[in-house]
Structure 1
Amino acid sequence: MKIYFTLEIRHSIFDFTPTQKTYVTIGTFDGVHIGHQKIIKKLVAEAKKANKQSVLLTFFPHPRMVLQKDVSIKLINTIEEKSEQLRRLGLDCLLIHPFSKDFSRLTALDFVRDILVNQLNTDKLIIGYDHHFGKNREGNIEQLTEYSHLYDFVVEEIPAQDIDDVSVSSTKIRRALQQGHLKTANDYLGYAYTLRGTVVTGQQLGSKIGFPTANIQIKESYKLIPKTGAYIVQAHLNNAVVYGMMNIGMRPTVNGTTETIEVHFFDFNEDLYGREITIELLYYLREEQKFDSIATLKQQLATDKQQALNYLDTAIR
């Protein structure tokens, strides 16, 4: 039985007017991986026990995009995907505050007084170990503890061993996805990596060789696209789980010029054009290859499908 939670989302801290004291955590939380989940689950449980509202303050764009002009950084989650993961964890309120250079110049004291205390009405702040905040990341657990006595709120730092037993980090997950190490990434995430996009019209080449595909277009340019190659995937379509195989790449056999994301679903023939769908990546099959003919490509796709069905028979069904 699934439990559905309601998540309040605000796109600025100034749009949030708490009616009671809050329990708060802060961070980018890209991926909402198993380390993040321990922090959030603790926040939610303690807030519920104290009859307080659980609040997560995060930022967009990612601070590295603003402060380091790191336009090359790709994120594990889009805003929608992150919101969905947090909703499943039972969080009460998600604050997605626009990150800017002006905001980054807030001193640690200004951040605590103006944001945590005056704006969020914080009663308890729960953070991961080695958390830094404020201008030049000058704020640390010692300053937080000092300010908490001044402004009458509680600070709880979760020890490293409680959230980082396997040295999970968003950076390591990004690297694993880019290298085709999908199992490692999914283990660290605690769920299957997802791609969410709209089904658009392609060149219909798949249909001509007996493997019709849904071409997925992802609108968020900052979303991390995993390593090129073939994957086993699943999607929830029309209230049912549908399995398939997906190719990410340039389609070198047919002289493709742009990278595409194409999914061939097994035992599913309905029209998906214009629909937004979420693809869950289950297993990395192989790297993208250039074949000497369409016939050879078709043979490989048949082999891929059989391998995918064998995998699903043992791992899923």
Structure 2
Amino acid sequence: AELFKELREWVMEFLGSLQATTMAISRIDAISSLAEVSQSNNYVRPEMSDDGALSISDGRHPVIEVLREGQYIPNSLQLDNKQRQLMILTGPNMGGKSTYMRQTALICIMAQAGCFVPASSARLGMVDRVFTRVGAHDDLVHGHSTFMVEMLELANILRNATTNSLVLLDEIGRGTSTFDGLALAWAVSEQLHAEKGVKTLFATHYHQLTDVAKILDRSVNCHMQAKEDGHELTLLHRVAEGPTDASFGIHVAKMAGVPEEVLVRARKVLENLEQGTTIEVSKAGPVQSVFSPTFSARSEIKENPVINEIKKMDLMNLTPLQALEKLHDIQQKLL
């Protein structure tokens, strides 16, 4: 104990020098680590700007390109505050949307940390914060469903994001009904575009959301490319301008090993849904109609009570006077 006490007192005499040396060594270690990974993975020195634009040529994900077998497919990105502030990103599952968004955030963070970045060139504006709403998980301890967690994180983004922030949104609204989810996604797009002016990458499977680019002047559509050959799908993992017209969910299900009989049935149901025709239960026994012939994407809208009343009228047994009275009643309800 006495020896330890003497050693401690001796060390205390040099404490200031030891702490300064430790800090210097830690800085050298960090800088040399950044230099080594930049050299070994062919990173480039980013150009920092004050115009707020994010311009990345042939960007790569710094982790996935190392862990993944085969050649990593790079993708470029252009976001700014004048013409390309909001990007609506569509494409198939596993097509690379989430990877594309995450590599953008990592490149921005690496650049501001003083590291070279995985790209052929990069010109980056300073970002004050990176906000993400990616993935799906619940919080059972606090009684929050997956959708509630999503909305809490979204509320934080809408309250705190600034014009210098970068926002990544992955499939907002998927945890609720189609129309509720689409409505929320659309409203969020408008808020981030017009009210906040935030540079945003918004990945979605709501193809209706691509119409935002026709309305909002600083929004653009991009998609992850895929090549379809019959029931086969080849994911190209490349970003291209413009929206996609399909999510290829059934193709991805086939790639995952879903039984063929389920896929065949899914294709039939999809075809009927797209054509608005009746879907029938494929079971032995009486055929039961699941959806009416008029089923469409708007089937969630409640029926109009006036229309129901008209459908129930026995027109063949109404006198002309009674018909006029009914018409008058309906007119009053619509006024």
For normalisation by structure 1, the TM-score amounts to 0.28
Is the helix fraction higher in 1 or 2?
2
For normalisation by structure 2, the TM-score amounts to 0.27
Report the structure number with the largest CA radius of gyration: 2
